[in-house]
Amino acid sequence: MSQQVWNKVELYGANRDGEPVRYTIADGAAVSRGTPCQLLDPRTASCGCLASAPLAGVAMEDHKPNKGILSISLWTNGVFDALCSGAISTVGEPYKMSKEGYIKAVSSTDIASAATIASYGVVLFRAFEIGADNERINVRLNI
């Protein structure tokens, strides 16, 4: 599965700008606007999704590889249209991101492992609607 692009629906924050945060990014990274990016040390955004890394935000700009640009701005506050991995059956419940960039239900294993949730920020979203597997739904992101 390829990395999923999230479509901006509505941005929040004092200026309704999605409260962008600037991160370091590798010069060779190719990132499309709307791609969810993971946070790596030190304050680095990566478009590769890792099970053990928290979400840094959603790319608000394209990053072309090998252009000498070493930073990128990410939206951290808003509503986005994202693809489901499995059914999303309850509105308002917390959900997490799968490694492919899909929205996924928090499993009983995740809940039992409070350390994982606390350490990696597994629970990141609130679903604004229900959805079937591979359906796009609105989710609330607030990092």
Q: Tens digits of per-residue pLDDT, 28-53?
A: 999 999 998 888 889 999 887 655 67
The answer on pLDDT for 17 being more than 80 is yes
Q: Which residue has the higher pLDDT, 11 or 96?
A: 11
**pLDDT interval class at 124 (50, 70, 90):** low
Q: Which residue has the higher pLDDT, 84 or 113?
A: 84
pLDDT at 51: 59
The answer on pLDDT for 84 being more than 80 is yes
Tokens encoding 13: 């924050």
